[in-house]
Structure 1
Amino acid sequence: MNWNEIFSLEKLIYHNPLADEQDVRDFKMEGEAVVSFPLNRMRMENKLDPRMGQKSNFVYWCSVEFPDNIAITWDFWPIREPGLCILFFAAKGIGAEDLFDTRLSVRTGTYDQYHHGDIDAFHVSYFRRKEENERSFHTCNLRKSYGFHLVSQGGDPIPSVADAKGPYRMKLLKWEREILFVINDLTIFHWVDDGKAFGKPLCGGKIGFRQMAPLIAEYANLNVYSISKM
């Protein structure tokens, strides 16, 4: 079943072309990265040596607090691999604090700070060109945190950099406890959270882009819509 047979996009509540520095003036970087706009779209790459492991990775947060029942869409171009990309969403402190509340621990891009720290979030990883066993069959993974719960998975249709054309049109829909991930209108997974097996239900919160070094990728046309269910 296609996503548009289940959900309908309603009001556009946030639009960001990600075309120049002014567009990300309110974004918050955790870790160290180079953000540039050589083709009027946001290019991100690690600043630190990939041999530093997790310390070389980073997260770039949109500062806007979003409600529940939304669709997040963006355009994606892979430029260099290996590495992987992640979208965090429904991110808050474990006590429902704002993600940037000063009472929360400082985060610096190291992965375990995001799944075993003091925040709750979902994250979908895509364009996963990291481990040798992951490169033989590419998948997109949905995880729920606190914890490192792999709750859903689907095949990744994006080709490797040598064959990638782009833009790939990414769409993440969250309706109450349902999450649906789509690439170029192909449904990758559709999962319903029972609110028990993997912790409490998560709703609202912030979104952020994460990359694993030495991957380089570009992003444009970040949109967030309110949605309704048919």
Structure 2
Amino acid sequence: MQHFHFKKGSLLYENHFKTMADLADFVAEGEVDYQITDEGLMLSAKKSSGVNGDFSHWLFWLNKDFPDRIMIEWSFTPIEEPGLCMLFFSATGERGEDLFSEHLKKRTGHYPQYHSSDIHTYHLSYFRRKWQDEREFCTCNLRKSTGFHLVAQGADPIPTVADAKEDYRLRLVKFDHYIQFSIDDLVVLEWEDDGYTYGSLLSAGKIGFRQMAPMKARYRRLQVYQAETY
């Protein structure tokens, strides 16, 4: 595998999650409970959705299209377990439509609607503490859809909530065929998409955060840059 070193280019988007007005760019699918505090954006499932099992999970999309060759950075603090946290990126309709096109099937947060329906996307699970086997051996998983293709996996350095520190700085780089994910500057996983084995190479599109209930987590300082190599 060819290894790359990246630097930040021009800033494409920034959100410090200081006021409720900062959420105007986001679209919720599923029962999302979101609160802005002095410490940032707190996300969890609404308590009323807890009776719905796997239908109580949700996705929080940033309603902006980003080009290829981007670096996504955000600060993340796990607050309550069990649960799971994910980042979706390069998300479009299956024919390249806008993710919110009226021609696409309605989505309500149920996972199969995102990995095996009518959208294309990469999705990274970076804090997996939902099921017992995930808690026994913690990994970060990268998948490509349409389809439920596990394409890369790496060890998760973030401890459980009881031992977690404040604000892990997460970075996802999508640069043509190459994807790299790091936590506090430690590279956790990287993968090259050949554009054939699991379908055509994905490029521009939207990003979104997902959690599996009853996970509660805090987000701060979301920044998206044009990525450059050096």
SS of structure 2 residue aligned to 1:202: coil
Count of paired positions: 228
Aligned 8 A contact 2:72 2:173 in 1: yes
Alignment-mate amino acid for residue 55 of structure 1: F
SS of structure 2 residue aligned to 1:52: helix
Correspondence 1:173-184 to 2 at 5 A: 173-184=173-184
Partner of 2:217: 217
Aligned 8 A contact 1:125 1:141 in 2: yes
- For structure 2, which runs of at least 5 residues remain unmatched after alignment? none
Structure with the higher fraction of residues in strand conformation: 2
Q: What TM-score does the superposition give when structure 2 sets the normalisation length?
A: 0.96
- Matches of 1:187 and 1:181, distance apart in 2: 6
Partner of 2:12: 13
Partner of 1:112: 112
Partner of 2:63: 63
Partner of 1:202: 202
- How far 1:53 moved relative to its partner? 1.6
- How far 1:51 moved relative to its partner? 4.0
Aligned 8 A contact 2:31 2:49 in 1: no
Alignment-mate amino acid for residue 180 of structure 1: Q
Alignment-mate amino acid for residue 157 of structure 1: P
- Matches of 2:162 and 2:39, distance apart in 1: 22
- Matches of 1:34 and 1:50, distance apart in 2: 12
CA RMSD of aligned residues (A): 1.3
Percent identity, aligned pairs only, is 48
- Matches of 2:172 and 2:53, distance apart in 1: 28
Alignment-mate amino acid for residue 82 of structure 1: P
- Matches of 1:55 and 1:133, distance apart in 2: 21
Q: What TM-score does the superposition give when structure 1 sets the normalisation length?
A: 0.96
Partner of 1:77: 77
- Matches of 2:229 and 2:149, distance apart in 1: 26
Correspondence 1:160-175 to 2 at 5 A: 160-175=160-175
Aligned 8 A contact 1:20 1:40 in 2: no
Partner of 2:133: 133
